[in-house]
Amino acid sequence: MSIESVFRTLYDRVNMEYGLLFLMLISASYMIWESFNFRIGQAATFPRLTAGFVVIGTILLLLRPILPEPIYSFVAKDARALDVSEDFEEQTREEEDTEPDEVTSLSTVDRPIPDAVFTTLAAIGYVIGGYVAGLFIMTPIFVAVYTSWFRVELWVRGVLVAISVAIAYAFLTVLNVSIDEGEFLFTGGLL
């Protein structure tokens, strides 16, 4: 059994929506838990409210199949802020018309692992790297690796990396958030 067939089996059997919802539920629950460790009580209000709304919404979405009708129609209602263009609808119809026996690659750039797996691993690496060395140094590295994976043109990569450095620098200076400090590297700050 090849690696791609293992990924294809997992991709077919695991519902990505429920995986994302469980991840959101765990993250929001952790935010609520950690907000009780804040020294300033007023500073905990925003994380608690935000995480509380996320927990309630996530639970409603997870329990959507068993909700009574009035609540179900509120939760599952298709609220479109923008109209879907005819081109997108036509493309969706063409994708639905393809035969299920037809084997398609899980990677849009012909890589050995699916794009969703790479994106997940890259995001986890970004968070861990940000904890270890600081988000200021990890942000341009993440952008460079991510754009390289998807084979974005070199000049576009350079522009995106420069924009990511500018955004990280704005967080550092304007918002006075110390994202240049890591827990193990650059503990005194990079800048």
Domain match, 116 and 185 both: yes
CA nearest 115: which of 16, 13, 2, 1? Answer: 16
Question: Does residue 125 lie in a domain region?
Answer: yes
- Contact between residue 61 and residue 75 where contact means Cβ atoms under 8 Å apart: yes
Residues 125, 67 within the same domain:
no
Segment 140-189, tens digit of pLDDT: 999 999 888 888 888 888 999 999 999 888 888 877 777 787 878 877 76
68/139 same-domain check: no
Residues 6+ apart with CB under 8 A from 169: 136
Domain housing 133 = 106-191
CA distance 3 to 76: 36
User: Rounded to an integer, what distance in angstroms lies between the CA atom of residue 119 and that of residue 147?
Assistant: 11
Please indicate, yes or no, whether residues 62 and 123 belong to a single structural domain of this protein: no
* Residue located via tokens 């909700």: 67
161 occurs within a structural domain:
yes
Give a yes or no: residue 141 inside a domain.
Answer: yes
In a domain, 164, yes or no: yes
- Amino acid letter, residue 188: G
What's CA 139's distance to the chain center, in Å? 14
Q: Could you tell me if 112 and 190 lie in one domain?
A: yes
Domain count of the fold of the chain: 2
State pLDDT tens for residues 17-76.
777 788 888 888 888 888 888 777 777 777 888 888 888 888 888 887 777 777 777 767
